[in-house]
């Protein structure tokens, strides 16, 4: 199988590991589920503790002289903006005999154009009756203002037409005077002039009649607009349903909380850069994942779950026992984010190896978890790190230590000259995993395998490194010239899922 150099691997690596991001966000489901639940509760609490203010609604039919079938709503949008002016608000307040400022009153209502000619006005008040009164005053003020503007426009148009008619009547009088002052002559030129005057008189007469008709139409069009602009839906209080409002607000809060939780989880995952996939953890540590173990559930598990956990622990112990038996040197278990689980694994491994000879467990954790605890009959001997020097070296030793931040690196070589890392997925950052690999390499402690705790159940990535030459471990040469960090042929031990299949 061909292998790639570190430069090629880093060059081919994507800028954002989408698969790892999805897995990390899914693992943080407690965060975004909690935020979603919090949003649901906050939305429901807002609906109960802060009910909507009393409101009323009224609908007004607005007639425009410029109405066209293809109008895009420009006229009704203009009416909506006119409704939100201090002139309309002040007229409504005067009808209500209120001393409230028009600017403040404008914050309590809004207009909405439902169609090209239908305007809806929503108003809030101190009570339902107050809201209904305000809605009626606003509707009446708007209708009166709209009618006044239409009448003024019609009067201005009719006046302009009448002025034009009067001007033409004056011109017609001059033409008639000229015609009356001419005597019949036989001169052809004079006859042509008289004919042009008669044609001019006929044209002016026609135009005067046209302006009279247009002025009359402009005047007669105003009653139609006045009658067309009216309140079509009387002001009425808006009934609020508390259960419906609560459900709506809770649903909105749930969605907002869920979106916020997913965003926080995604951003936190990218910033923290904590690998969760087997492939990424193995690549950062430069060692193969030889086994996996799911984390014990927080709540009490059922019989089938406990049986499955026992089977997984038995397979893990068997895998580690095969790995330790193949090593003639002391082996340590170094934890990262799972001290309690590592202690349990060490005791299970010691019990499995006790049939082949005496086994001693050296507890080198920062806070000893095994040394001094109550021993059951048949359990292997457990001593603290300080007491290990007085124990004969003929016994097989299994050291238990930590590579978490703050660990004493120089003490790790006394726990074992080879190690198995027990790492909880998503606990350590990529930078810290590199630091662990580098420190172990400096101490000449080869990593013979990685046990992954709490892996993603859907993770199908490969966690085995087939070539250890480009890893962080430099190793040292033994008597045959073979590097101690070179992995034997049995280094790729099937994980739990593979053994089950």
Residue 436 has pLDDT above 80, yes or no: yes
| Residue that is written with structure tokens 């600017």 in the block | 103
Name the range with the highest mean pLDDT among 3-12, 60-69, 116-125: 116-125
For β-strands 109-113 and 359-363, DSSP reports them as unpaired
Q: pLDDT higher for 345 or 474?
A: 345
Mean pLDDT score, 143-154: 86
Instruction: Provide, rounded to the nearest whole percent, the portion of the chain with pLDDT above 90.
Output: 26
pLDDT at 371: 56
Give me the CATH topology for the region 275-500. Answer: Rossmann fold (3.40.50)
Specify whether the CB–CB gap between 418 and 445 falls below 8 A: yes
Specify whether the CB–CB gap between 412 and 334 falls below 8 A: yes
Name 401's bridge partners.
334
- Cα pseudo-dihedral 113, 117, 123, 129, rounded to 10: -150
The SS3 call for residue 323 is: helix
Q: Which DSSP category does 205 fall into?
A: H
The model's pLDDT over 311-340, given as tens digits with 9 standing for 90+, comes to 888 888 888 888 787 667 788 899 998 888
Write out the two tokens for 113: 């154009």
- Within 10 Å of residue 67's Cβ, how many Cβ atoms? 13
The SS3 call for residue 212 is: helix
The model's pLDDT over 239-293, given as tens digits with 9 standing for 90+, comes to 888 888 899 999 999 999 999 999 998 888 888 888 888 888 888 888 888 888 8
The SS3 call for residue 75 is: helix
Q: Where do runs of H (alpha helix) occur along 61-127?
A: 74-83, 86-96, 102-105
| Residue that is written with structure tokens 């690549």 in the block | 283
pLDDT at 202: 83
Specify whether the CB–CB gap between 250 and 68 falls below 8 A: no
Distance CA 278, CA 464 (A): 8
Write out the two tokens for 361: 């467990």
Distance CA 269, CA 471 (A): 25
Specify whether the CB–CB gap between 368 and 454 falls below 8 A: no
Residues in the chain: 501
Distance CA 140, CA 119 (A): 13
Least confident of 351-355, 390-394, 410-414, 443-447: 390-394
Least confident of 89-93, 175-179, 259-263, 467-471: 467-471
């Amino acid at each position: 199988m061909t292998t790639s150099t570190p430069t090629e691997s880093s060059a081919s690596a994507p800028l954002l590991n989408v698969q790892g991001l999805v897995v990390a966000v899914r693992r943080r489901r407690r965060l975004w589920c909690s935020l979603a639940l919090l949003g649901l509760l906050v939305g429901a609490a807002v609906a109960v503790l802060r009910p909507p203010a009393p409101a009323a609604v009224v609908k007004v039919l607005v007639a425009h002289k410029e109405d066209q079938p293809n109008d895009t709503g420009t006229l009704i949008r203009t009416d909506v903006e006119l409704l939100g002016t201090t002139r309309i608000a002040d007229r409504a307040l005067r009808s209500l005999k209120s001393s409230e400022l028009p600017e403040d009153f404008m914050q309590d209502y809004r207009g909405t154009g439902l169609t090209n000619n239908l305007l809806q006005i929503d108003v809030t008040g101190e009570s339902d009756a107050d809201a209904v009164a305000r809605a009626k005053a606003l509707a009446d003020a708007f209708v009166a203002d709209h009618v006044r503007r239409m009448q003024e426009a019609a009067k201005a148009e009719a006046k302009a037409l009448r002025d034009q008619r009067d001007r033409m009547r004056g011109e017609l009088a001059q033409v008639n005077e000229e015609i009356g002052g001419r005597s019949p002559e036989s001169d052809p030129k004079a006859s042509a002039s008289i004919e042009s005057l008669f044609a001019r008189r006929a044209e002016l007469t026609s135009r005067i009649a046209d302006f009279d008709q247009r002025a009359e139409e402009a005047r007669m069009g105003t009653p139609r607009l006045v009658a067309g602009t009216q309140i079509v839906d009387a002001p009425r209080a808006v009934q609020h349903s508390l259960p419906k409002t609560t459900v709506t607000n809770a649903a909105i809060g749930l969605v907002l909380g869920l979106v916020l939780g997913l965003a926080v989880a995604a951003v936190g995952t990218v910033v923290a850069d904590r690998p969760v996939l087997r492939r990424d953890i193995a690549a950062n540590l430069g060692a193969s994942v030889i086994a996996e173990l799911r984390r014990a559930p927080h709540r009490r598990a059922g019989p089938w779950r406990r049986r499955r956990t026992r089977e997984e622990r038995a397979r893990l112990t068997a895998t580690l026992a095969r790995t330790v038996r193949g090593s003639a040197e002391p082996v340590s278990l170094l934890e990262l984010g799972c001290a309690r689980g590592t202690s349990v694994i060490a005791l299970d491994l010691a019990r499995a190896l006790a049939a082949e000879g005496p086994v001693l467990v050296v507890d080198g954790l920062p806070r000893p978890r095994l040394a001094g605890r109550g021993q059951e009959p048949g359990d292997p001997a457990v001593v603290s790190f300080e007491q290990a020097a007085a124990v004969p070296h003929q016994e097989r030793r299994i050291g238990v230590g930590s590579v978490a931040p703050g660990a004493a690196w120089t003490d790790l070589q006394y726990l074992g000259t080879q190690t198995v890392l027990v790492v909880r997925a998503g606990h350590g950052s990529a930078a810290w995993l590199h630091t662990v690999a580098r420190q172990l390499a400096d101490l000449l402690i080869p990593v013979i395998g990685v046990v992954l705790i709490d892996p993603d159940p859907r993770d199908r990535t490969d966690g085995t490194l087939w070539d250890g030459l480009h890893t962080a471990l430099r190793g040292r040469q033994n008597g045959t010239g073979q590097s101690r960090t070179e992995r034997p042929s049995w280094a790729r031990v099937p994980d739990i899922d593979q053994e089950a299949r």
